[in-house]
Amino acid sequence: MLSLKSILIIALCPLLMLPLFFIIPLVRVIRVVTYVTWYSDGRVESVTDEVVVWVTPYQYLFGGELFFDVIDLDTLKGILEKVCFKEEYRPPRAKIGCGEKSAILMKYLEGKGCKVSMGRGNLSIDDEAIPHAWVLVHLRNGTYVIEVNAESGYASIVGTVKEAAESATQKYTEKERWGMKKVEKEYGDFTKNPLNYLEEKK
């Protein structure tokens, strides 16, 4: 006959296993992610990345938030509406340039599940072309240009790469495209902690 102690141990075992199942990431998963990039000159490029993530047994068996990337425009808009640059990093007081600010926002968005790059080239306004950098977010239906230099401190979605390149008012001419590895190499100090420069809104 089982003792009371044995019965309690048997009863508590499932409860003790719950943290292992729902909370503790024990399963190593290699995610193969393919995304398509649209360039301003009409080229289309498909890139496949392998990303290693650790997930809980529950997420592995039933899916979970770690398996979902930001792939739609509405989700991206929702993220951008809740974060802005701190006042000291907004025009005209900003002491950092568009490259640094783009790197900061890229790192922040990557942490939110976005696939990002940096576009570098010229921004043409009223027939004047100035060197510029901007954020590119790769979504399911296209690659979008994100402008970081608004006086409000909030980043804005300009449109797809094609729309931004063909705009009659603000034309973005892309000459280079940098991935996160190169951005971190060039702007390492700015990508260590994006929240040193950004503030999240409730």
d(CA 184, CA 1): 65
d(CA 187, CA 201): 25
Do residues 141 and 156 both lie within one domain? yes
Distances from the Cα of 175 to the Cαs of 111, 145, 184, 192, in angstroms? 26, 14, 19, 26
Going by C-alpha positions, the residue among 175, 201, 180 that lies closest to residue 120 is 175
What pTM was computed for the model? Answer: 0.72
Check pLDDT > 70 for residue 131. Answer: yes
Do residues 93 and 64 both lie within one domain? no
Q: How many domains are contained in the chain?
A: 2
d(CA 49, CA 33): 5
Domain boundaries, position 56: 1-68
d(CA 32, CA 29): 10
Do residues 32 and 80 both lie within one domain? no
Give the pLDDT confidence score for residue 65 in this predicted structure.
46
Give the pLDDT confidence score for residue 80 in this predicted structure.
96
Going by C-alpha positions, the residue among 109, 85, 107, 108 that lies closest to residue 97 is 85
Q: What 3-state class would DSSP assign to 185?
A: helix
Give the pLDDT confidence score for residue 159 in this predicted structure.
95
Distances from the Cα of 198 to the Cαs of 118, 141, 159, in angstroms? 18, 28, 23
Residue type at position 159? G
Residue type at position 127? D
Examine the fold and report which residue of 39, 68, 97 is the final residue of a domain before the chain moves on: 68
Give the pLDDT confidence score for residue 115 in this predicted structure.
87
Do residues 64 and 128 both lie within one domain? no
Structure-model confidence comparison of residues 25 and 118, the more confident one: 118
Do residues 106 and 14 both lie within one domain? no
DSSP 8-state symbol, 149: -
